[in-house]
């Protein structure tokens, strides 16, 4: 084993001290890359019924390491840990990702094996909705469609060419913090197919520097789900256009939870979001979500805010978040006024 290169911005001082003390760090990997993401915030909440509240929160804290292999430098093992605030007030650490990535196992196609990305949410967070620190994507948001989450145990084939990218996955279907039930439930077959209008689907795009336009078809066929022992199917169409001055994106979703009539997850809805960048480091953002289910319950969300990029590692966001879980009543609606520090290293 040889000395490894440690790309760990936040741990630099620690390893500098280790080097001065002639400490050798070893691993069965050519390179270890450490990174972290943190969503730190303050919320003032005003419900339609009841008293207002004020509180600080660490919404999420991700710690990640990738171990790259010497003989195949694009292959790696990834481990990501995530803190989560429980209703009891406890902050727990749970496993978000733990997968082996093998590059180019097929033409232009790599594969994740283990606790992997599900095909849709990570894509939208990097191309369409860029503010996960204040709200989840429409597909995942509890007051949005609330269909799926971002990781699960299984396998995911990821293809990239200039004009097309895709992810095709088979996973357990209950999600990374759901109950797998020892395989008694069926598997979930999930997909994302994306066409690039500008031929840069194989590039890592940057919203403030690049122009891109993409159209995607996404969804999942989740067989024999734990909650009702029947199939759950959803699919949607998403489009995004971005240039350095602005972004606009939207998605339409429809779903069928086959096991139950008048089910809360059977229905349709759509989401539209945009971002305008009037000056360097500044952005104005907005989003609207609406979903109506078979119980004739229609829920809506509005987000409006502004963001300031303080540095390469830190972004500050201030926003208003209006949540209405049932538009036929006013009892459960609320407004949130949020301040957020989004930290990445």
232 Cβ partners below 8 Å, 6+ apart? 220, 222, 225, 255, 256, 257, 258, 259, 265
Task: Check residue 131 and give its pLDDT.
Answer: 98
Task: Check residue 22 and give its pLDDT.
Answer: 72
Share of the chain above pLDDT 90, in %: 76
Q: Per-residue pLDDT averaged across 55-71, rounded?
A: 95
> Could you say which DSSP state residue 127 is in?
H
Q: Does domain 59-304+321-330 have CATH number 2.40.160.10?
A: yes
Q: Is the pLDDT of residue 262 over 60?
A: no
- Prediction pTM value: 0.90
**How far, in Å, CA of 18 to CA of 24, rounded?**
8
Q: How far apart are the first and last CA of the chain?
A: 27
Minimum mean pLDDT range among 141-150, 197-206, 327-336: 327-336
Q: Say if strands 151-160 and 109-117 run parallel, antiparallel, or are unpaired.
A: antiparallel
**How far, in Å, CA of 278 to CA of 268, rounded?**
34
Minimum mean pLDDT range among 176-180, 226-230, 237-241: 226-230
| pLDDT grade for 275, boundaries at 50, 70 and 90 | very high
H-run or E-run covering 12: helix 12-20
Distance of alpha carbon 48 from the chain centroid: 29
DSSP calls for 37-55: EEEEEEEEEEESSS--EEE
**How far, in Å, CA of 273 to CA of 238, rounded?**
11
The per-residue pLDDT for range 66-122, each reduced to its tens digit, is 999 999 999 999 999 999 887 777 889 999 999 999 999 999 999 999 999 999 999
> Could you say which DSSP state residue 29 is in?
S
- Counting other chains too, the contacts that 210-216 makes at CB distance below 8 Å and 24 or more residues apart are 210/242, 210/244, 211/242, 211/243, 211/244, 212/127, 212/240, 212/241, 212/242, 213/239, 213/240, 213/241, 213/242, 214/127, 214/239, 214/240, 215/239, 216/123, 216/192
| pLDDT grade for 291, boundaries at 50, 70 and 90 | very high
| pLDDT grade for 182, boundaries at 50, 70 and 90 | low
Average pLDDT of the residues of the chain: 90
Among 262, 264, 327, 319, which Cα is nearest to 290's?
327
| pLDDT grade for 226, boundaries at 50, 70 and 90 | low
3-class DSSP assignment, residue 118: coil
């Amino acid at each position: 084993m040889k000395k490894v290169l440690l790309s760990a911005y936040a741990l630099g001082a620690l390893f500098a001290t280790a080097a001065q003390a002639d400490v050798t760090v070893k691993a069965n990997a050519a390179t270890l890359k450490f990174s972290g993401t943190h969503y730190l915030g303050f919320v003032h909440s005003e419900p339609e019924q009841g008293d207002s509240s004020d509180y600080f929160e660490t919404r999420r804290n991700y710690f990640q390491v990738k171990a790259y292999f010497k003989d195949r430098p694009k292959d790696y093992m990834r481990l990501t840990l995530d803190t989560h605030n429980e209703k009891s007030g406890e902050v727990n650490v749970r496993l978000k990702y733990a997968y082996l990535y093998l590059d180019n196992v097929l033409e232009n196609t790599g594969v994740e094996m283990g606790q992997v990305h599900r095909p849709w949410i990570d894509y939208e967070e990097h191309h369409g909705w860029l503010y996960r620190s204040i709200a989840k994507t429409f597909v995942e948001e509890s007051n949005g469609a609330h269909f799926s989450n971002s990781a699960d145990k299984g396998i995911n084939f990821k293809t990239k060419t200039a004009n097309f990218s895709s992810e095709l996955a088979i996973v357990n279907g209950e999600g990374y913090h759901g109950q797998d039930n020892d395989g008694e439930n069926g598997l979930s077959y999930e997909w994302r197919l994306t066409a690039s209008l500008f031929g840069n689907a194989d590039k890592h795009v940057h919203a403030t520097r690049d122009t891109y336009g993409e159209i995607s078809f996404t969804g999942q066929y989740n067989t024999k789900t734990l909650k009702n022992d029947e199939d759950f199917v959803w699919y949607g169409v998403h489009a995004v256009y971005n240039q350095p001055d602005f972004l606009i994106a939207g998605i339409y979703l429809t779903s069928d939870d086959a096991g139950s009539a008048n089910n809360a997850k059977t229905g349709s809805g759509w989401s539209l979001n945009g971002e305008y960048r009037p000056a360097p480091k500044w952005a104005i953002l907005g989003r609207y979500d609406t979903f109506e289910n078979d119980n004739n319950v229609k829920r809506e969300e509005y987000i409006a805010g502004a963001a300031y990029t303080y540095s390469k590692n830190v972004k500050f966001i201030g926003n208003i978040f209006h949540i209405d879980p049932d538009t036929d009543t006013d009892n459960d609606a609320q407004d949130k006024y949020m301040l957020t520090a989004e930290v990445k290293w």
